[in-house]
Amino acid sequence: MSAGAYYPLFADLHGRRCVVVGGGVVAQRKVTTLLDYGAAITVVSPTATTRLLAYALRGRVRYLARAFRPADLRGAWLVYAATDDQRINESVYRTASRLRIFTNVVDQKPLCSFIAPAIVKRGDLVIAISTGGMSPAIAKRLRRELTAHVGADYARLLKLLGGLREAAKSRLPNFQARKRYFDRLVGGRVFALVRAGKTHAARREALALLDASSHNGS
């Protein structure tokens, strides 16, 4: 493994304070993505796009219409810097590093303590693709390919399986038995029914299989 390898991590940002320094189109993209994951966002920039201003007017983000100050990062969990002023970008990185806050200065890998992956999202299913910052073009291509092949049926199956977890834990107290059960759901008739749009039938089939598994110990 290379010395610069990145550790993949899915973070819970719901209600967490995230700061985006910059008010242009790139900053807007970062803000829009963070909003999808429930982050509490502060945008710092003397100017902002129409969409960012609309977010602020609707109370979806807090907008500070001025230049960045180091104190803006207090209490933040994650920071993006997306400005065309290198001095500001470097100031954001230095401040965040001192405060041990995950930071990404857009398109400047040496000024990043994390890099954002390309994302494919289907309901609660999230697939993240990273090239370690070496080729965003490859990551985007893979995202397009996965988007074409991973359909909404996976989200429906995930919802079904998630709803069965507690029942499986109570009926199949052995970890290996639960693993075999869910492997059978993913690889067998249940998923075929989900793909056919027959979610109620799929649930009945899954429950019947759970009943059988709990009686025969497998």
3-state helix, strand, coil in the chain (%, to 5): 50, 15, 35
Share of the chain above pLDDT 70, in %: 97
Res. 217: pLDDT tops 70 = no
Looking at residue 3, its pLDDT comes to 52
Looking at residue 103, its pLDDT comes to 97
The per-residue pLDDT for range 66-107, each reduced to its tens digit, is 999 999 999 999 999 999 999 999 999 999 999 999 999 999
What is the pLDDT averaged over residues 191-213?
94
CA 50 to chain centre: 25
The per-residue pLDDT for range 33-49, each reduced to its tens digit, is 999 999 999 999 999 99
Looking at residue 106, its pLDDT comes to 95
| Banded pLDDT at 173 (limits 50, 70, 90) | confident
Output the pTM of the full model.
0.83
Name 170's Cβ contacts closer than 8 Å, sequence gap at least 6.
Answer: none
The per-residue pLDDT for range 182-195, each reduced to its tens digit, is 999 998 899 999 99
Res. 116: pLDDT tops 50 = yes
C-beta separation of 18 from 78 below 8 A:
yes
First to last CA, the chain: 39
| Banded pLDDT at 2 (limits 50, 70, 90) | low
Alpha-carbon span 185 to 42, nearest angstrom: 43
- 3-class DSSP state for residue 40? strand
Of residues 114, 118, 94, 92, the one with CA closest to residue 19: 92
C-beta separation of 142 from 117 below 8 A:
no
C-beta separation of 101 from 93 below 8 A:
no
